[in-house]
Amino acid sequence: MQHILASQLKAFRQYSINEQTGSTDVSRANEMMVNVAKGLTTVEIEALSQYIAGLH
């Protein structure tokens, strides 16, 4: 259990570092997704993410 928590903590820290430093995930930058995301504001991305979270 302890190693699972430690693993989560490490990953969360990495996520935070990525977010703060602007590190990017290059494989996500495919042409299609770049075009889609380019046209969306931060508010729209948040709204879309909330909609997708409830989609089943």
Q: How far is the CB of 11 from other proteins (least distance, A)?
A: 5
Residues forming contacts to other proteins in the complex (CB under 8 A) are 3-8, 10-12, 14-15, 18-19, 22-29, 32-40, 42-56
Give the distance from CA 25 to its chain's centroid: 9
Give the distance from CA 48 to its chain's centroid: 13
Q: How far is the CB of 48 from other proteins (least distance, A)?
A: 4
Contacts of 26 (CB under 8 A, 6+ apart): none
Q: How far is the CB of 30 from other proteins (least distance, A)?
A: 9
